[in-house]
Chains A and B, each alone.
Chain A
Amino acid sequence: MKIKKKDIEYVANLSRIELSEIEKETFVHQLNDILSYIEKLNRLNTETVKPMSCAIDVTNIFREDIVEPSISLEDTQLNAPAIKGVFFKVPKVIE
C-alpha cells in the first residue's frame, strides 16, 4: 500500500475537497490500485529521454496588440452565485 489514509487527507486538502470517512477508505484502495498499475512505467529507463508536454511543435504565439471587445461586465455576472454592485460577493476572507 503506497497511499495511506493520511496521504488521502493531505491531497484532499490540497484539492479543496472534503471527503467522508467511507470515501477516504474507498479512495485509499482505488488510488493504490491505480498507482500500482502505473508502477509499470518504472520498468523503462528514461534517463536520457526528454519530457514531452505538447503533441505538436508550437512555441510562443504572438498577435498584434490590438484591443478587441470582450464579454460585458453584465454578462460576466450572469452566472455568479452572489454579486454586489460590480463585484463577486464571497464570504469573509480574513478573520
Chain B
Amino acid sequence: MRLSEYTALQIKKKIISREIRPIDLVEHFIKRIKDIDHDIQAYLTINEEETIKKAAQIQKKIENGENVGILAGIPIGIKDNICTKGLHTTCASKILENFIPPYDAFVVKRLKEEDAIILGKTNLDEFAMGSSTENSSFKITRNPWNSDYVPGGSSGGSAAAIAADLSILALGSDTGGSVRQPAAFCGVVGVKPTYGRVSRFGLIAFGSSLDQIGTLTRDVKDAAILLQVIAGHDLRDSTSMQVPVPDYLNEIDSGVHGLRIGIPKEYFDAGLNEDVHNALKNALRMYEQFGAKVVEISLPHTEFAVAVYYIVANAEASSNLARYDGVRYGYRTSKPNGIIDMYCHTRSEGFGNEVKRRIMLGNYALSSGYYDAYYLKASKVRNLIKNDFDVAFQNVDCIICPTSPVPGFKIGERAKNPLEMYLSDIYTIPANLTGIPGISVPCGFSKEGLPIGMQILGKHFEEKKLLQIAYAFERETDFHMKKPVLKWSTD
C-alpha cells in the first residue's frame, strides 16, 4: 500500500507509534502532486515550504514525547475560497488572483491547533459558482476516474485530490451541493453539516443563508474526525450555533436496526439515470437487511427547489460580491477614468462569465419592481420546501436519495447551457434551503465505470446519526476502497 492511500485514522496510528514520520509523509504527497497533478489539476497552490517546516515541528514534538493534536501530521487540502493566513486564497477568480489573507478562517485555525498540515489550496468554480469546476479562471480539474469527465463542483479540486490520493483530507464548501455532488462524482465521502454547525468566518461569502463548510474524505470515520475538529461555536459568526458538539466517532458502529428511512418518491422520477437508480435500490435493500425500515415519503415541492435556489443564492451573491470594487484589496483595472469607471472596469475584467451572469440575475431579482415577484416569492416557496421536510421528519429518522441524478458528465457537455448545469443540483439544493445536514457516500459504479453517490439527509444537528447510518453501509461494502486507475500517468 502506498503511503498516500491510508485514511487519516490509519496514518494517525502509524505517526503516533513512530512507524511513519510526518516529514516522509508530506514529502511523499508533495512528490506525488508534482508527478501527477498536471494531469488532474486539483491544486491551485502548493504550500510546500510551510508544509515541510510544519511536519518537522510535529515530528520533533512526537520525538520529544510532547502532546500533539488529533490530526498531527495529517495533510489536508483546503478549497481556495477558505482564507489561509499568508497563503494565496483566490476563489479561482482573477479578481482575487493575488489576494493573501491577513487572517485564518475559523476552520483553518482549528486545523492548525490540531496539528494538521495544510498541503495546498484546491481548485473550484469561480466563487464556488458552478457544478463542474469548469468555471475556474485558472484551470479545469479532471475527474480521476475518467479524464474526459468533470470532477463535479464547485469543490471539484478537493474531491479529485482525495480520489487521486493527492491528500488524505480536504475541506470544501457547500451552497447548493458543492461538497456532496463532487464527492459523488469522484467516489469519496462528502459531508455538508447543518447550517450553523461550522463557523463561516473566513469562508469567502457566496450565498450567506446557504453556505456551509464541509468535509471530503476517503471514508466515513475520517469525515467524523475532521468534522469533530471544525465543528463548534464561533463568536465571529453570529449564525454559528451554541449547540454542543458530540463525539462523532464514538458509537459510529451502532447500526441502523429499527431506524425508519424515508425515500422521497419525487426523487426517483423519470429523470433519474438507470445505473444510479439501481445502485440506490441495492443500497436500500441492504439497509433493510441491516434491520432498518424503508418507507416511501413525499416532498411535494421538490420541483420548485432549483428555481427558489437560483433566486435566493444569486440575490445573496450579488450583494456579497458588491465588495469587489478594486479599492481595498484584489484586482484593480489599470488607468481608470474616475471612480465609477474604476468599479466597472475592475469588475468586468476581474469576474468570469458565470459570476457576471449570477450577479446580473441577483440584482435583477432584487431590483425595484421585481423584488416581490422574485425574491419575496422565492423566500415563501423556500418555507414550503422546509415544511415538506419538517413533515417528513415527523415520520422518519433520515431520508435517502441519490446525490446526483447522473453519475457524471463530460467536460464541456453542460458548459454552454447554464440552466442545464443548474438543474444537475436538484437533489442537493433542498438541504441548503432548509439548513439540514447531508452526507454523500459511494454506493456503486455506472456502466462507464464512474462512481455513484448515495445521499443521506437528516434533521438539524443530527450529523452523528447520519455518520452512523453511512457507516452501517460502508462497513459492509467496498465501494469506498476502490481506486481510480490513473492511466494517463506513470502511476
Q: Which of A14-37 contact B (CB under 8 A)?
A: 14-19, 23, 27, 30-31, 33-34, 37
The yes or no answer to A85 lying at the interface (CB within 8 A) is no
Q: Residues of B contacting A71 with CB < 8 Å?
A: 102-103
Nearest CB of chain A from residue B310's CB, rounded to whole Å: 7
Instruction: Select one of B98, B384, B386, B419 contacting A79, CB under 8 A.
Output: B98
Asked whether, in the complex, the Cβ of A34 is within 8 Å of the Cβ of B328, the reply is no
Instruction: Select one of A27, A51, A79, A95 contacting B328, CB under 8 A.
Output: A79
Instruction: Select one of A27, A56, A80, A92 contacting B195, CB under 8 A.
Output: A56
Instruction: Select one of B339, B347, B356, B374 contacting A38, CB under 8 A.
Output: B374
Q: Residues of A contacting B330 with CB < 8 Å?
A: 79, 81
What secondary structure prevails in chain B residues at the interface with A?
helix
Nearest CB of chain A from residue B426's CB, rounded to whole Å: 12
Q: Which of A44-69 contact B (CB under 8 A)?
A: 44, 46, 49-56, 58, 61, 63
Q: Which of B85-108 contact A (CB under 8 A)?
A: 98-100, 102-103
Known: A16-B343, A56-B196. A91 touches B209 (CB 8 A): no
Asked whether, in the complex, the Cβ of B377 is within 8 Å of the Cβ of A42, the reply is yes
Asked whether, in the complex, the Cβ of A53 is within 8 Å of the Cβ of B379, the reply is yes
Q: Residues of A contacting B303 with CB < 8 Å?
A: 40
Q: How many residues from B make CB contacts under 8 Å with A?
A: 74
Instruction: Select one of A8, A49, A58, A93 contacting B239, CB under 8 A.
Output: A58
Bound CA span A80–B376, Å: 37
Asked whether, in the complex, the Cβ of A17 is within 8 Å of the Cβ of B195, the reply is no
Q: Name 9 interchain pairs, CB-CB below 8 A, sorted by A.
A: A15-B360, A17-B348, A18-B348, A30-B357, A31-B364, A46-B377, A78-B102, A91-B342, A93-B338
Bound CA span A51–B326, Å: 35
Instruction: Select one of A23, A51, A92 contacting B380, CB under 8 A.
Output: A51
Q: Residues of A contacting B109 with CB < 8 Å?
A: none
Q: Residues of A contacting B307 with CB < 8 Å?
A: 37-38, 40-41
Q: Residues of B contacting A63 with CB < 8 Å?
A: 235
Q: Residues of B contacting A76 with CB < 8 Å?
A: 102, 328
The yes or no answer to B351 lying at the interface (CB within 8 A) is yes
Q: Which of B395-451 contact A (CB under 8 A)?
A: 418-419, 422, 432-436
Q: Residues of B contacting A90 with CB < 8 Å?
A: 327, 339, 342
Q: How many residues from A make CB contacts under 8 Å with B?
A: 50
Instruction: Select one of B102, B325, B418, B422 contacting A16, CB under 8 A.
Output: B325
Known: A7-B364, A11-B360, A79-B329. A50 touches B348 (CB 8 A): no
Nearest CB of chain B from residue A91's CB, rounded to whole Å: 5
Residues of A within 8 A of B (CB): 3, 7-8, 10-12, 14-19, 23, 27, 30-31, 33-34, 37-38, 40-42, 44, 46, 49-56, 58, 61, 63, 71, 75-76, 78-82, 88, 90-93, 95
Asked whether, in the complex, the Cβ of B386 is within 8 Å of the Cβ of A52, the reply is yes
Asked whether, in the complex, the Cβ of B381 is within 8 Å of the Cβ of A41, the reply is yes
Q: Residues of B contacting A10 with CB < 8 Å?
A: 367
Asked whether, in the complex, the Cβ of B329 is within 8 Å of the Cβ of A16, the reply is no
Known: A8-B360, A17-B356. A34 touches B419 (CB 8 A): yes
Known: A16-B347, A75-B102, A88-B327. A46 touches B357 (CB 8 A): no
- 4 nearest A-B pairs in the assembled complex, by CB-CB distance: A55-B435, A79-B329, A51-B379, A81-B332
Q: Which of B283-330 contact A (CB under 8 A)?
A: 301, 303-304, 306-308, 310-311, 318, 322, 325-330
Beyond the given A18-B344, A91-B339, A95-B338, could you list 20 further A-B residue pairs with CB under 8 A, ordered by the A residue number? A11-B367, A16-B344, A19-B356, A33-B419, A34-B361, A37-B307, A38-B311, A46-B384, A49-B380, A49-B383, A50-B380, A51-B382, A53-B379, A55-B196, A55-B432, A78-B100, A81-B331, A88-B328, A92-B338, A92-B339
The yes or no answer to B28 lying at the interface (CB within 8 A) is no
Q: Residue on A with the closest CB to B350?
A: A17
Nearest CB of chain B from residue A38's CB, rounded to whole Å: 5
Asked whether, in the complex, the Cβ of B418 is within 8 Å of the Cβ of A18, the reply is no
Asked whether, in the complex, the Cβ of A56 is within 8 Å of the Cβ of B342, the reply is no
Asked whether, in the complex, the Cβ of B360 is within 8 Å of the Cβ of A31, the reply is yes
Nearest CB of chain A from residue B292's CB, rounded to whole Å: 27
The yes or no answer to B460 lying at the interface (CB within 8 A) is yes
The yes or no answer to B32 lying at the interface (CB within 8 A) is no
Nearest CB of chain B from residue A58's CB, rounded to whole Å: 6
Known: A11-B363, A58-B196, A91-B336. A17 touches B351 (CB 8 A): yes
Asked whether, in the complex, the Cβ of B241 is within 8 Å of the Cβ of A55, the reply is no
Q: Residues of B contacting A95 with CB < 8 Å?
A: 338
Bound CA span A55–B175, Å: 12
Q: Residues of B contacting A11 with CB < 8 Å?
A: 360, 363-364, 367
Q: Residue on A with the closest CB to B418?
A: A30
